[in-house]
A and B are shown apart, each in its own frame.
Chain A
Amino acid sequence: MKLRKVAVVGAGITKFVRRAQETAKELSYHATKMALDSCNMPLEEIDSVVHGTAPDAFDGVHMKGEYLSEASGGWRKPFMRSYVGGGTGVFAPINGWYLVASGMYDTCVVVCEEKMSSCQPHPQGAFLTIFDHTTERPLGPNLLWIFALEMNRYMQVHKIPREQIALVSVKNKRNALDHPSAQLGAELTVEDVMNSEIMAWPVTRLMVSPTSDGAAAVVLASEEVAKKITDNPVWISGVGWNLDTAYWTNRDLYYPEYVEKAARMAYKMAGIKNPREEINVVEPYDPFAYKELHHLEGLLLADKGQAPRITAEGITARDGKMPSCPSGGLLGVGNPIAAAGMMKICELFWQLRGEAGKRQVKNSPRTGLAQAWGDLMQVGTVVIMQRGD
């Protein structure tokens, strides 16, 4: 069955900072406004609004979606907040996609926001409450645990040296120097990353993305409306999402099967048979350095255990054959959870339109893929976007 076509026609973003003066509402507003203005779209012509934001515990506001609805353009409109933890930033545009693809709405503004700094003394504290209240929370777990456990398993199964993982930090933080939102752009060496403080072995400080405040947004439109707004729409040609069991200690963490399933769903919808040839630019989720590698494998863009090799060979560099995280990723631009995933969608929009300035990849990309991940190492969300011609 032929699906109704949905395009991204505008995008907006704020700076990502450790602690913003702007409130959650103000950040949401700025991203929304910039996205609407970028395509000269008055709010009156927006039929529906989707908001993506991760746990309420960060902002310290219960039913945070309700609280942010007006600031995202949702006043007296159908307003929906959806979430899949860290996967939310790439899921929210999927939610927007199905609102428009259903035929019930012609336009949708999708806004993602996170203000993590409200959570004191440290935003990491909010993550204690993501663990099972009976079997895990009494142990006092923190988020670093699960990343470290997963990274260790991945490294040991494939015998990957940590130096190869550190390369991802070097690449992404360098790319971020060219992103105007970036919080942690830097010129670093592998030694810098290796020698930075060990947070939770095998994870060092420079392998971890920061906590951030920020927002990002896109405007979606049906084919008919999109063609009136712009000569250069970017189509959402495939979407996929997948959630694995909550019993994460019963799974082998070395490989994200749920990411593969989400990717296969999106490839099928987009008619992509050979992703390694057909995906020209990729924004995999990189909250930790190894995650980019783990995800490139889950997305079938590298063989299992081989993502470190293609990184070392420069294939994923900004001027490589398949640039990965040309934005600078979460490691460089910052990680306001849901907004970080949406930043990747925005980056593909700009890259595919040739509007990324110094960040512009060199292979004149036609098709791009953004992916996010979250929950208890459990959810994959994938969007494939395609240039109009």
Chain B
Amino acid sequence: MNQNVAIIGIGYTVPKPKTPEVSYKEMTYLAAQMAYKEAKISPKEVESFVTAAEDLHEGTSIFDEYTPDQLGAVQKPMHTVSGDGIQGIIAAALQIMTGAFDLIVVEGHSKASNIVTPTYVLNYALDPVINRPLNINPHYIAGLEMRAYMQDSKTSEEDVANVVAHNLTRAALNKLAPYGAKISPKKVLSSEPLFEPIRKLHMPQTSDAAYVVVLASERIAKKKVKPVWISGMSFCSDSPTLETRDWTTSISTQIAAEKAYQQAGIKNPAAEIDVFEIDDSFGYKQLQHLEALKVYEKGKAKNIFENGDKQKLSTRVNPSGGTLGVGWMHEATGLHKVLEVVSQLKGKKGKAQIKKAKVGLAQAWRGLPTTTCAVVILKNQK
């Protein structure tokens, strides 16, 4: 990339299923204070702010109205991206790469617990003329995709149950993951069928949290302690239309990853990337995304748990417990993944620490019913 960009601070609140003690503004304020402290900056120095948010997740139209105060961003350049927080980070990094900015802050938060009718909100994302009138729970879309993926990649329900059990079990070691639990693949397979092949334990549960990330140009970042450098980044959308999309492969992740690898000079991701925090919604998504990320060949991601996992990918992929363990947080989902990767690269993950982690990848999917994905590759050395 023609101008180096680094993360010099991240602040967050611990993800929880409910957070009645704070408003979204107060939650974000706490995360911002933490981020600014780590980056040793004042919000006055920040030149531009980006929020990742969607109106209907907030229950407010034109939600960007309510974004500046809690970040100390009053009368500053600020805009909202209606995308995952990783798209927000990319938006900020691109601004820095123009050369016109040195210091930018990205914010994303989830108050998913405040949405009383989440399934109706989700249904509202479907085509109003040809899909919505069918009036079925929109999570069936994950069922359609899981079925198509399993068929195409010759992956079994057991393989997917392994992912779910593994991630929930790993999450039990992560203080930031409220849904950690020692669960066997068998229990996953016997959990209630909801949108077959999707079962109850495949479903990510939601969390509330706020994340604030401080990004800086090389000029600023090189003066800071342990900056984490962005070495590749991209995002992509495939078809939003249910009738015309490829159900077997995450093509958007594939296209985004190719570009990010090219920027980062990565040829063999499984060997060159030490830690992956990727979308694992419904279990099968982890396998589908690992293949799109070229960590495995098509149809081979299920081998992650096989004997002879020589590359130890089962420990290097989603050591946090993934979205299944941490919780689905709408636009903030990807920012948690970035937080986990940054913590790994700084050697701060305790029991879940991947030894000598130098390069990490965070990937996010925007969730049902979208095909949009974003990828960012981070390094602790330039």
List residues of A whose CB falls within 8 A of some B CB.
1-4, 23, 54-57, 60-70, 74-86, 91, 95, 98-99, 101-104, 118, 126-127, 129-130, 132-133, 240-247, 257-258, 261-262, 265, 269, 374-376, 378-379
Contact = CB atoms under 8 A, between A and B. Distances in A.
Contacts of B239: 70, 75
B251 interface: yes
B369 to A, nearest CB: 8
Residue among A63, A101, A262 with most chain B CB within 10 A: A63
A55 B62 contact: yes
Contacts of B56: 56, 62-63
Which 10 pairs of residues, A with B, have the shortest CB-CB distance?
Answer: A102-B97, A55-B61, A62-B124, A101-B98, A85-B62, A62-B125, A102-B94, A243-B78, A79-B237, A129-B61
Given A3-B100, A242-B75, A242-B76, A60 B62 contact: no
A103 B237 contact: no
B55, B80, B127 — which one has the most chain A CB atoms within 10 A of its CB? B55
Given A3-B99, A82-B81, 20 more contacts: A55-B62, A56-B54, A62-B54, A63-B56, A66-B240, A66-B370, A70-B240, A75-B237, A76-B237, A76-B238, A79-B235, A80-B81, A81-B81, A82-B91, A85-B64, A86-B62, A102-B3, A129-B61, A243-B49, A243-B68
B208 to A, nearest CB: 16
A100 to B, nearest CB: 9
B235 A78 contact: yes
B80 A244 contact: no
Contact of B122 (A62, A69, A374, A375): A62
A83 B79 contact: yes
B95 interface: yes
Most buried by A among B74, B81, B129, B236: B74
Contacts of A63: 54, 56, 82, 125, 366, 370
A82 B121 contact: no
Contact of B62 (A95, A240, A374): A374
Contacts of B240: 66-70
Given A103-B2, A378-B65, A78 B82 contact: no
A132 B56 CA distance: 14
B77 interface: yes
Contacts of A23: 129
A114 to B, nearest CB: 12
B83 interface: yes
Contacts of B79: 82-84, 91, 95, 241, 243
Interface in B55-74: 55-56, 59-62, 64-69, 73-74
Nearest to B127: A67
Tell me what chain A mostly uses at the interface: helix, strand, loop, or mixed.
mixed
Given A55-B55, A130-B61, A62 B121 contact: yes
Contacts of A375: 62, 64-65
B128 interface: yes
Nearest to B78: A243
Contacts of B2: 102-103
Nearest to B236: A78
A133 B55 CA distance: 13
Interface string B88-131: 00010111011110000000000000000000011011011100
Contacts of B216: none
A232 B26 CA distance: 50
A68 B54 CA distance: 15
Given A4-B98, A55-B55, A244-B75, A67 B65 contact: no
A69 B237 contact: yes
Contact of A244 (B55, B68, B83, B87): B68
Contacts of A378: 65
A43 B309 CA distance: 43
B255 interface: yes
Nearest to B370: A66
A81 B55 CA distance: 13
Interface residues of B, number: 60
A101 B99 CA distance: 8
B372 interface: yes
Contacts of B191: none
Nearest to A83: B80
B207 interface: no
Most buried by A among B69, B95, B251, B256: B95
Contacts of B95: 98, 102
Nearest to B235: A78
| Max count, chain A CB within 10 A of own CB: residue among B62, B67, B237 | B62
Interface string B240-277: 11000000000110011000000000000000000000
B87 A67 contact: no
Nearest to A75: B239
A375 B55 CA distance: 13
Interface in B142-192: none
B82 A81 contact: yes
A99 B75 contact: no
B234 interface: yes
A82 B129 CA distance: 25
B22 to A, nearest CB: 14
17 contacts: A3-B98, A56-B55, A62-B122, A62-B125, A63-B54, A65-B82, A66-B240, A66-B366, A76-B255, A80-B83, A80-B91, A84-B64, A91-B79, A98-B94, A127-B61, A241-B77, A242-B78
Contacts of A126: 61
A104 B97 CA distance: 8
B64 A83 contact: yes
B76 A243 contact: yes
A102 B91 CA distance: 10
Interface in B212-241: 234-241
A91 B75 CA distance: 16
Contacts of A102: 2-3, 93-95, 97-98
Interface string B359-382: 000000010011010000000000
Contact of B61 (A56, A68, A81, A247): A56
A246 B68 contact: yes
A118 B69 CA distance: 33
A331 to B, nearest CB: 21
A129 B61 CA distance: 5
Contacts of B127: 61, 67
Contacts of A240: 77
A51 to B, nearest CB: 9
Contacts of B74: 243-245
A56 to B, nearest CB: 5
A27 to B, nearest CB: 15
A77 B237 contact: yes
B100 A133 contact: no
Nearest to B70: A246
A75 B129 CA distance: 21
A60 B67 CA distance: 23
